[in-house]
């Protein structure tokens, strides 16, 4: 392992130790203490093993949340002591090629622009583009909505000659 890898592993281990010390303190502002470990699947083995003792015997009034995008990378002893909640997202969400082309062109322009006024113009162009994308998404979702299977009540009433 290179020097940066050693420092990174040491950093993770130190962060876990600090979190463990803090979680064992009595809560001062609320009834519970909450600790969140982001990217728990990327904990080095040394840090994961150090955390295991706290996970096996968590302090009273504490909630430990481990976030992971790949639970298979967590060590088995940690997984066996956790309640797993799965929050599905859009797998393989694709960005339209037209959006990628525009973003690429915009990025090149933004990198080349040095003046403050030019950057404000770029910000304006970005806002216009985002508003247009929001409108397109709203229309697309509206078109897909199951509510569109049904006639509008006012249109139905007008055809039947009834007044609402």
Q: What is the pLDDT of residues 90-138, one digit of tens each?
A: 555 567 788 888 888 888 888 888 888 888 888 888 889 889 988 988 8
Say if 74 falls within a structural domain: yes
Q: What pLDDT, on the 0 to 100 scale, is given for residue 91?
A: 59
Q: Which of 44, 49, 82, 86 is nearest to 69 (CA)?
A: 86
Q: How far is CA 40 from CA 18, 26, 36, 123, in A?
A: 15, 24, 9, 36
The CATH number for 41's domain is 3.40.50.300
- Nearest Cα to Cα of residue 132 among 158, 162, 98: 98
In a domain, 160, yes or no: no
Answer yes or no: is 19 within a domain. Answer: yes
Find the domain containing 129 and state its range: 97-149
Given a cut of 80, whether residue 155 has pLDDT beyond it is no
Q: Give this prediction's pTM.
A: 0.48
Residue 144 lies in a domain: yes
| Domain-embedded: residue 155 | no
Cα–Cα distance, 153 to 27 (Å, whole number): 56
Say which range, 3-12, 69-78, 88-97, has the weakest mean pLDDT.
3-12
Average pLDDT over residues 151-156: 55
According to the model, what pLDDT value does residue 160 have? 52
Biggest distance spanned by C-alpha atoms of the chain: 81
57 vs 15, 36, 53, 78, CA distance in Å? 19, 17, 6, 12
Last residue of a domain, one of 79, 108, 138: 79
Same domain, 71 and 105: no
| 8 or 151: which leads in pLDDT | 151
The total number of structural domains in the chain stands at 2
Q: Residues near 1 by Cβ (< 8 Å), separated by ≥ 6?
A: 9
Give tens-digit pLDDT for 24-68.
Answer: 888 888 888 888 888 888 888 888 888 888 888 888 888 888 888
Averaged pLDDT for residues 60-84 = 88
pLDDT at 1: 36
Q: Indicate if 102 and 40 belong to the same structural domain.
A: no
Q: Do both 123 and 62 map to the same domain?
A: no
Whether 84 is covered by a domain: the verdict is no
User: How far lies 16's CA from each of 7, 48, 68, 121, 164, in Å?
Assistant: 14, 8, 16, 45, 65
Residue 157 domain-assigned (yes or no): no
114 is a domain residue: yes
Q: Are 15 and 75 members of one domain?
A: yes
């Amino acid at each position: 392992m290179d020097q940066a890898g050693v420092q990174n592993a040491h950093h993770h281990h130190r962060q876990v130790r600090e979190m463990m010390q803090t979680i064992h303190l009595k809560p001062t502002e609320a009834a519970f203490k909450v600790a969140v470990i982001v990217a728990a699947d990327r904990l080095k083995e040394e840090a994961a093993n150090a955390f295991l003792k706290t996970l096996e015997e968590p302090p009273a009034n504490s909630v430990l949340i481990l976030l992971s995008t790949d639970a298979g990378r967590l060590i088995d002893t940690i997984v066996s002591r956790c309640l797993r909640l799965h929050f599905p997202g859009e797998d393989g969400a694709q960005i339209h090629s037209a959006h990628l082309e525009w973003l690429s062109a915009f990025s090149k322009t933004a990198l080349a622009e040095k003046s403050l006024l030019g950057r404000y113009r770029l910000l304006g162009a970005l806002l216009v583009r985002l508003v247009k994308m929001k409108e397109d998404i709203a229309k697309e979702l509206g078109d897909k909505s199951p509510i569109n299977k049904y006639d509008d009540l006012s249109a139905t009433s007008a055809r039947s000659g009834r007044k609402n």
